[in-house]
Amino acid sequence: MPDILRLERVSKFYEPHIRALDDVSFSVEKGEFLFVTGPSGAGKSTLLNLIFRSERPTSGEIFFEGRPLSSYKRSEIPHLRRQISFVFQDFKLLSQRTVFENVAIPLEVLGLPEAEIRRRVFTVLEQVGLSGRERQPVRQLSGGEKQRVALARAVINRPRLLLADEPTGNLDARRTEEVMEIFEELNAQGTTIILATHDEALFVDRHRRVLVLEEGRLLNP
Amino acid sequence: MRLIRRAFSEWRTAPGLHLASTLVITLCVAIFVFFGFIYLNLDHFSREIARELVLNIYLKPQLSQEDIKDLETSLLQRAEVAGVRYLSSSQVLEELKHLFEDQTLLEGVEPSFLPPVLIVSFKDPFSAVKNLPELAASLERHPEVEKVQYARSWLVRLSGLRRFLELLSLTGLFLLGWATVLIVGLTVRFSLSERREELEILSLVGATPGFIQVPILLVSALEGMVASILALLAIFLVKLYLNGVLKGLFPSFTEGLVFFGRLEMGILIAGVVILCLLGSYWASRRYLRY
């Protein structure tokens, strides 16, 4: 399988002397489900932010589908973000809006016809087990349901790479299992996933590659 | 259609704020339009009066018709001169008789007592007034000319008043522009700061700055258009009211006040719309940096 993502000696320092990531190199194959773990402050979120291009590395280079992220112009970032989706621990949903409206946002941005948007939203909501909840305002949902809405929004435009930063951090064990099942299903359909978590229970017995970060350094490159 | 819906939803995020902003812009534009309306009417009025500006060249008696013709021709060759009329001494006496109600004042006055006159009128009296002293002095040096007279003082004052009003209008234009950009900018910034979360999410899912900005700009442009139309309408109503009042005060006031033409109104509306677009572009840009 070809690489979808490659990091070459990536470091990120914050002033004055914070070393968030130090000389990190690894690659991710297309269709892989990769876990990144480590204690709080190990650099997991920084790593995902660099891949998402919301931050730039201090040194080193990140390649997405063979193209260095540093070569993306500002005007190209929105297009990059249509290929890389992000699932956040705090969901980042519009609580006043309905489930349908939240999930439809990426498709509206793409300017798809309304009928196509409706069709795809209904399909993805069925996939994440939220059929019939389209008109419900997000504020009325439980944490697990909110994360499923966030997941639906993240995958609705069929991204090539899905990043998830502690996606189960706010969920109880049952909801965590539900969400992880959806991740597995998405991966089975071909979506490449990088999931950052400090919770070992998420990747134990899943037989997936796990990268361990500690104080910004990769312990098992 | 989708853009209009998004613009409406943009307006719906803070309808009170957008309404207040539209009203404040209306007020600003109305103040400016009111000054412009006053300027327009004073300009119209002063041009009407200034049309009566003439230069009286009193000629020496017993001049030959050839000398008079030569002087007349040389005056007509000047670019600012619209026309030259010759009045003989007897014609001057007739004019005076028309002028005075009490004819006894002119009893015993012989036409030979009055000098013949060349009356010079100008194409643009306000431009001509600047060069008038120079022209008068050069004419007085002519051997055929006895004296040159014109109503300099009131015309200079009128010209000064026009310049002052021009300056006032320009200052008003500058202040209007500044205030509009500021008001629209602040409104957009307030409404965007309330929607920071939404903007962040839109940027995370790959919305381009244009996708976010276009409905905001559309709403601002509409606000500017509505505000300028309302302001013009308000001042037009003021004009109708003043027409009625002035008619009652001065029975000779028959023409009525003048109002802006279609082109001027179009330019004003377009100008306000452009200012609103500038204000909203300037305010929204800082929220759309990747």
Q: What is the pLDDT of residues A107-120, one digit of tens each?
A: 998 989 989 999 99
Check residue A41 and give its pLDDT.
Answer: 87
Lowest-confidence region among A55-59, A92-96, B43-47, B78-82: B43-47
Does one domain contain both B225 and B128? no
Tell me whether residue B279 is in a domain. Answer: yes
Does one domain contain both B174 and B268? yes
Beta carbons of B206 and A86 less than 8 Å apart? no
Tell me whether residue B25 is in a domain. Answer: yes
Chain A: closest CA distance from residue B276 (Å): 25
User: What value does the CA radius of gyration of chain A take, rounded to a whole number of Å?
Assistant: 17
Residue B156 near residue B129, CB atoms below 8 Å: yes
Tell me the chain B residues in contact with residue A109 when contact means C-beta distances shorter than 8 Å: 202, 205-208, 211
CATH fold for the domain made of A1-83+161-221: Rossmann fold (3.40.50)
With b for 16 or more beta-carbon neighbours within 10 A and e for fewer, the B251-290 pattern comes to eeeeeebebbeeeebeebbebbbebbbbbbbebbeebbeb
B203 interfacial to chain A (CB closer than 8 Å): yes
Judge whether residue A57 has pLDDT over 90: yes
Judge whether residue A20 has pLDDT over 90: yes
- Given A86, A109, A157, which is nearest B211 (Cβ)? A109
End-to-end Cα distance, chain A: 19
Beta carbons of A109 and B197 less than 8 Å apart? no
Q: Closest residue of B to A102, CA-based?
A: B201
Q: Which residues pair with B147 in a beta bridge?
A: B58
pTM of the model: 0.67
Check residue B105 and give its pLDDT.
Answer: 72
Residue B197 near residue A94, CB atoms below 8 Å: yes
State the best of B5, B213, B214, B290 to mutate against chain A, taking most chain A CBs within 10 Å: B290
Chain B: closest CA distance from residue A76 (Å): 9
Chain A: closest CA distance from residue B16 (Å): 19
Check residue B252 and give its pLDDT.
Answer: 62
Check residue B122 and give its pLDDT.
Answer: 83
Q: Is the dihedral of CA A37, A43, A49, A50 positive or negative?
A: negative
Beta carbons of B205 and A93 less than 8 Å apart? no
Residues 139-198 of B with CB under 8 A from A: 197-198
Q: Closest residue of B to A91, CA-based?
A: B201
Q: What is the mean pLDDT of residues A69-90?
A: 92
> In Å, what is the CA distance from A164 to each residue of A51, A97, A209?
11, 23, 15
Tell me the chain A residues in contact with residue B203 when contact means C-beta distances shorter than 8 Å: 78, 81
Check residue B152 and give its pLDDT.
Answer: 63
Check residue B67 and give its pLDDT.
Answer: 85
**Domain extent at residue B130:** 54-150
Does one domain contain both B82 and B102? yes
Beta carbons of B211 and A153 less than 8 Å apart? no
Tell me whether residue B156 is in a domain. Answer: no
Beta carbons of B201 and A92 less than 8 Å apart? yes
Check residue B66 and give its pLDDT.
Answer: 86
Compute mean pLDDT per 10 residues along chain B, 290 residues long, and list them. 75 78 87 85 76 81 83 87 86 79 74 84 77 83 84 70 79 80 78 78 88 86 92 95 82 79 94 88 75
Say how far apart CA B180 and CA B24 lie, in whole Å: 9
Say how far apart CA A196 and CA A209 lie, in whole Å: 12
Beta carbons of A109 and B204 less than 8 Å apart? no
Check residue B253 and give its pLDDT.
Answer: 66
- Binned at pLDDT 50, 70 and 90, residue A154 comes out as very high
Does one domain contain both B36 and B93? no
Tokens (6 digits) for A185: 């299903």
Does one domain contain both B30 and B103? no
Q: How many CB atoms lie within 10 A of CB A38?
A: 22
The DSSP-derived string for B164-183 is HHHHHHHHHHHHHHHHHHHH
Q: Closest residue of B to A92, CA-based?
A: B201
* Residue indicated by tokens 């929607």: B195
Check residue B290 and give its pLDDT.
Answer: 60
Does one domain contain both B197 and B235? yes
Q: What is the mean pLDDT of residues A26-33?
A: 95
Does one domain contain both B71 and B36? no
Judge whether residue A161 has pLDDT over 90: yes
Does one domain contain both B44 and B65? no
φ/ψ of residue A219, rounded to 5: -85, -25
Using alpha carbons, select from A209, A160, A184, A199 the residue that is nearest to residue A26.
A209
Residue B165 near residue B264, CB atoms below 8 Å: no
Half-sphere exposure of B19 (CA within 13 A, CB side): 5
Q: Closest residue of B to A109, CA-based?
A: B207
Residue A138 near residue A149, CB atoms below 8 Å: yes
User: What value does the CA radius of gyration of chain B take, rounded to a whole number of Å?
Assistant: 30
Does one domain contain both B252 and B120? no
Tell me whether residue B262 is in a domain. Answer: yes
Residues 207-266 of B with CB under 8 A from A: 207-209, 211
Q: Closest residue of B to A112, CA-based?
A: B2
Q: What is the mean pLDDT of residues A148-157?
A: 92
Using alpha carbons, select from A53, A56, A45 the residue that is nearest to residue A13.
A56
Beta carbons of B208 and A78 less than 8 Å apart? yes
Give the CATH number, domain containing residue B115: 3.30.70.3040
- Given B197, B205, B209, which is nearest A105 (Cβ)? B205
Mean pLDDT over each residue of chain A, to the nearest integer: 91
Give the helix ranges, DSSP H, for A35-142: 44-51, 77-81, 99-110, 114-127
Domain spans of chain A, in order of start: 1-83+161-221, 95-158
φ/ψ of residue B267, rounded to 5: -65, -40
pLDDT in tens, A117-141: 999 999 999 988 899 999 999 999 9
Q: Is A147 exposed, middle or buried (0-12, 13-18, 19+ CB in 10 A)?
A: buried
Say how far apart CA A37 and CA A34 lie, in whole Å: 10
Tell me whether residue B259 is in a domain. Answer: yes
Tell me whether residue B290 is in a domain. Answer: no
- Which of B150, B175, B193 is where one domain is finished? B150
> In Å, what is the CA distance from B246 to each residue of B39, B45, B233?
17, 14, 20
B200 interfacial to chain A (CB closer than 8 Å): yes
Lowest-confidence region among A32-36, A37-41, A181-185, B285-289: B285-289
Check residue B153 and give its pLDDT.
Answer: 64
**How many Cβ contacts (< 8 angstroms) between chains A and B?**
47
Check residue A43 and give its pLDDT.
Answer: 93
Domain total of chain B: 2
Q: Closest residue of B to A81, CA-based?
A: B206
